[in-house]
Amino acid sequence: MVSKVMSISEKANLVPIKIAELVSIANQFDSSIHIEQDDKVVNVKSIMGMMGLGITTGTEFKVTADGEDESRAIEKIEQYVCALAS
């Protein structure tokens, strides 16, 4: 199991399509991937769960992946989250 705390930059344009892209990235991996924000834990592969989480710019959250490709999953998600600010 691998976990990493991330945040969405204040410069990011966090529109629903960006969340859908994140879900699509997560679905490329066999690992179980979850985001924890405040008291909520959501499956990153679930578009409904991710939309309901309400992540906003400047918010910190923890991403956890568990499975054979967990490290690659965390790395790819972190790259995407960082790229949102560009």
Distance CA 9, CA 32 (A): 25
pLDDT at 49: 95
- pLDDT digits over 22-66, tens only? 999 999 999 999 999 999 999 999 999 999 998 888 889 999 999
- pLDDT digits over 69-78, tens only? 999 999 999 9
Instruction: Map out the domains of the chain with their CATH numbers.
Output: 2-83 (3.30.1340.10)
Cβ-contact 84, 43 below 8 angstroms: no
**What is this structure's pTM?**
0.92
1 has a pLDDT exceeding 90: yes
3-state secondary structure 40-71: EEEECCCHHHHHHHCCCCCCEEEEEEECCCHH
